[in-house]
A and B are shown apart, each in its own frame.
Chain A
Amino acid sequence: MADQKHIDDFSGTSTTGHEWDGIRELDTPLPRWWLWTFYATIIFAVVYWVFMPSWPGVTGYARGFLGYSSRAAVDASMIQAKQAMAGMRDRLATTSLADIEKSPDLLEFAAAGGRSAFAVNCSQCHGADAGGRRGFPNLNDDDWLWGGKLDDVDFTITHGVRNGADPDARSSQMPRFLADGILTQAQIGDVADYALSLSGATHDAVAAARGQPLFAENCAACHGDKGEGNKDFGAPRLSDKIWLYGGDRNTIIQSISYARNGVMPNWGARFDAETIKELTIYVHSLGGGQ
C-alpha cells in the first residue's frame, strides 16, 4: 500500500494503492443498497442457522429451533395427499369397474392413478408407453392374450401369469415340440409355413399344405382350427398381424420347437384393491380395451 492516497486524474476517485504495470485500481465504493443487501443476507444466514438444520456434527447435526426436516415434510405431504385422495379412493373401492368407466370424474382419477402406478411397476417390461416389446405384450393394441374386457384385465393384473406364487394365476403350458420329441425338425418347418399362411404372410404353399394336418393334430386344440387363438389358455391368435415374439419363419420355428411361456407377477399380492382397479382402468383406456 502506498503511504499517500493517490487520486485518479480522470475520475477523481482515490485508488487502492495496487498497481500493475502502471495500471491502478480505483477504490470506488460499493453502492449503499448493495452493502445493505449484503448485510441483510448475513443476518438472514445467522437467523437461518438458529432456526433451521444447519451445522453438521459427528453423530448428527444441529436441528434448529423449528425442527424442520425435509424427510418429515415429505411424509407429511404424502399423508396429506393420501387424505386428499381418500374420498375418491373410497368411491373407487365401492364402485364396480364398469360403473367407474361411466363416471367421468372417477374415470379420470382412476386413469391418473393407474398411469403413475403403471410407470413405477409395469413399465419395466411393458414399456413406459405400454407399447410392449418382444415377449411383452403391447397393451395399446386390440390383441389380447387373456382377454381385453375390464374383468379379464383385472384378473390378469391381480393373479398374474404362470408365476407359481398365485394358485389362480393365468396358466397354460405350450409343449416344446422339438425338445420334447413330439415333432421332427422338418415337420416343425411345415407347421411354421402353415402358421404363416393363416395371417396371409408369404409362405411356402406346399410346405403349408403338409403342415396343415400336423397343425390340426397338435396345435388346434389351443390355437383353434384357423389359428384364431383361445383366451382361456392365453393361446395367441395366429391369424392376425401381431406377433409377440416375431413373425418371421425362423422365430416361429423357434417358438414351436422350444415353446414360449411368458410370466407376470401376481400384483394382487402387492397392491390394494383400489390400485388394481386404477391399473385396470388405465390399461383398458389405452385404446385396445374391449
Chain B
Amino acid sequence: MNVQATTPGVAEFDVRPVNKKANRSFYAKRVKIHPKRAQGAFRRLKWIVMAVTLTIYYVTPWLRWSRGLGAPDQAVLIDFEHRRFYFFFIELWPQEVYYFTGLLVMAGIGLFFMTSLAGRVWCGYACPQTVWTDLFLVVERAVEGDRNARIRLDKAPFGIAKLRKRATKHALWLLIALATGGGWVFYFADAPTLARDLLQLQAPMAAYVTIGILTFTTYVFGGLMREQVCIYMCPWPRIQGAMLDEESLVVTYHEWRGEPRGKHQKSSTGARLGDCVDCNACVVVCPMGIDIRDGQQLECITCALCIDACNGVMKKLGRPANLIGYDTLANDRRRAVGQPTHYRLWRPRTILYATLWSVLGLFMVYALATRADLEISVLHDRSPMFVALMDGGLRNGYTVRALNKRHDERRLHLAIAGLPGAELTIVGQQGADIVVPPDDVRSIKAYVRLPTGAVRPPSTDFRFVLTDAVGRSSAQYDTVFRGPE
C-alpha cells in the first residue's frame, strides 16, 4: 500500500519551481512567481537591512554639512555644474576622479571578499534590485493578499474588484518608483531648493527626465521583471561563481539528512526516511522560483527565506533546525559522514582579497590625507613652439593653470627653476604673484625669455613652481623650453 497523505501539522504546498533549470524553456513565456510570506530570523534581518539601506538612500541628500560661505552645505553632493563632488569633509575636483576609480575597485574587491566568505550576501540582502523587489512585494501582499489570494486574483475574471486592487497596487508601485527617482536627483543639486523647484514645476528638465527614467526602471524592474533581472540581465551571478569555493558559506540543503524525502516516517518498504517531508515550504517562499534542494544554482540569490520556511516546519515536527541552512559545501560533506565541522575563513583567496582591499584603502586614505590644497598645471605653447626675438633671444609661451582648493582667496607666487638666465613675465600684469579666487582655477599666460648667448639646446627641462604667499605649501610642474633644432 502506498498511501499519500500530508504530514500531520504541516501544510503542504502545491508549487512548481518554475525557474528550475529543467523547467525553463526559451520558448515559454515567463511564469509568474507568487512568493509566500516567510517568517523567521532571516526575514527579520532582511527587514532591518531594508530599513537601513532605504533610510540611507532617502536621507543622505538631506544631511547638511557646513563648509563656509559660498560653498554648498549639502553633506553629499555631486555638483556637475561646478564640477565638484562633496562628501562630508572631502571635496573632490574632476581631475581627482581616480578617488572614485579607487572606491569602485575597492567596492569590487570588497564584493569578491564578501562572496568568497559568505556567498551572495550582496544579492540576498543589500542589492537594490532585491531591496526594491521586497518593497514591491510588501505592497503587493498588502493590497492583494498573500500567495493564494494573489493566485485567485490572477485567475479571477476581470471585474470591478480586480480592477480596483490592480489599480491600487500599480498606483502604489508607481509612487514608490517616483519616490526612488525623486530621491536620486537630490544627490545632484541642493536638496531643499530642488524639492521646492520640483513641486513648483520649475526644476531643470534634466531632473524631470532623470526622475522619469528611474521611475520607469524601478517600476519595471521591481514590479514586473523581478527575478528575471537577476537571472537574465545581471552579470554578477555569472561572475560570482569564480569567487565561491567549497569553504564559502552558502545556503545549502543537507541532502544527506533530508533524503530520501517523504511524507511519512517510513516508506512503504519500511526503510527510514529523511527529515525532508517534501512539504515544498522552501519552494513556496522562494522569490526566484527555484527549489534549493536541487543544490547550488545560478538563480539562487541566497536570500535565506527557504531557511526560515524550513526551520518553521522542522520546529513543528520537533526535528533539529537547519535542514536548509548556511553552511559550506565542505562542512556539508563532513557532516554527512559524521566528521567534525570546521570553518576556514582564511584561505589564500580571502587573504588576497583582504590584503588588496586594505592596501588600496590605506593608500587612498594616505593620498587623501596628504592631498595638496593647491595645484599647478602647465601647457607649453605648441604653435609656435618658440619665438626668435630681435636681439637673438628666445621666447616660449606657456598657459599656466593655478588651482586653489581652499575656500579663501590666495595670493600665489609663480617662479621658474632650472633655467639659468631666463626671465618670467606674466601677460597682463606686473610681477609674478597670481591672485586665485576661493575654490577656483586661474589660468594665465606666461612668457619665459632666454637671452641671447645663454646655452640653449633644442629642448631644456625646467619647472614652474607655485608657492603659497606664506610659504606653507607649494606645487610644481615639469615642462620644457624649446629652441631651434
Contacts and interface: CB of A to CB of B under 8 A. Distances in A.
B395 interface: yes
A127 B390 CA distance: 20
Nearest to A200: B392
B383 A143 contact: no
A129 B383 contact: yes
Nearest to A141: B387
Interface string A47-89: 0000000000000000000000000000000000000000000
A148 to B, nearest CB: 11
A240 B390 CA distance: 5
A204 to B, nearest CB: 21
Given A142-B390, A240-B390, A129 B384 contact: yes
A131 B383 contact: yes
Q: For chain B, what secondary structure do more than half of its interface residues adopt (helix, strand, loop), or is it mixed?
A: loop
Interface in A1-22: 13
Contact of B452 (A129, A140, A141, A241): A241
A203 B447 CA distance: 33
Given A13-B26, A28-B26, A29-B26, A140 B390 contact: no
Given A28-B26, A241-B452, A287 B387 contact: yes
Interface string B2-28: 000000000000000000000000110
B391 to A, nearest CB: 7
A131 B390 contact: no
Interface string A133-160: 0000010111100000000000000000
A128 interface: yes
B26 A140 contact: no
A237 to B, nearest CB: 7
B389 interface: yes
Contacts of B389: 141-143, 241-242
Chain A interface bracket (under 10, 10 to 19, 20 to 34, 35 or more): 20 to 34
A285 B387 CA distance: 14
Contacts of B71: none
A143 B447 contact: no
Most chain B CB atoms below 10 A, which of A29, A130, A287: A287
Interface string A277-290: 00000000101100
Contacts of A141: 387-390, 395
A140 B27 CA distance: 73
A241 B391 contact: yes
Nearest to A143: B390
Contacts of A240: 390-392
B231 to A, nearest CB: 13
A113 B397 CA distance: 21
A162 B392 CA distance: 29
Contacts of B384: 127, 129-131, 138, 140
Given A29-B27, A129-B383, A287 B397 contact: yes
Nearest to A14: B27
Interface string B405-437: 000000000000000000000010000000000
B200 to A, nearest CB: 28
Interface in B269-321: none
A29 B25 CA distance: 10
Contacts of A128: 383
Contacts of A143: 389-390
A47 B131 CA distance: 39
Contacts of B387: 131, 138, 140-141, 287-288
A140 B383 CA distance: 10
A242 B395 contact: no
Contacts of A28: 26
A128 B381 CA distance: 13
Contacts of B452: 241
A288 to B, nearest CB: 8
Interface string B377-405: 00000011001111110010100000000
A242 B390 contact: yes
A287 B428 CA distance: 11
B309 to A, nearest CB: 31
Contacts of A241: 388-392, 452
A140 B427 CA distance: 14
Nearest to A101: B428
Contacts of A242: 388-390
B482 to A, nearest CB: 13
A237 B390 contact: yes
Interface string A24-63: 0000110000000000000000000000000000000000
Contact of B395 (A127, A130, A285, A287): A287
Most chain B CB atoms below 10 A, which of A13, A128, A140: A140
A129 B392 CA distance: 20
A28 B26 CA distance: 7
Interface string B106-117: 000000000000
Nearest to A31: B232
A143 B427 CA distance: 18
Contacts of B397: 287
Q: What 10 pairs between A and B have smallest CB-CB spacing? A: A129-B383, A240-B390, A131-B384, A241-B392, A140-B387, A129-B384, A143-B390, A141-B387, A29-B26, A142-B389
Interface of B: 26-27, 383-384, 387-392, 395, 397, 427, 447, 452
17 contacts: A13-B26, A29-B26, A127-B384, A138-B387, A138-B388, A141-B387, A141-B389, A141-B390, A141-B395, A142-B389, A237-B390, A240-B392, A241-B389, A241-B391, A287-B397, A287-B427, A287-B447
Interface of A: 13, 28-29, 127-131, 138, 140-143, 237, 240-242, 285, 287-288
Given A138-B388, A142-B389, 11 more contacts: A29-B26, A128-B383, A131-B384, A131-B387, A138-B384, A142-B390, A241-B390, A242-B389, A287-B395, A287-B427, A287-B447
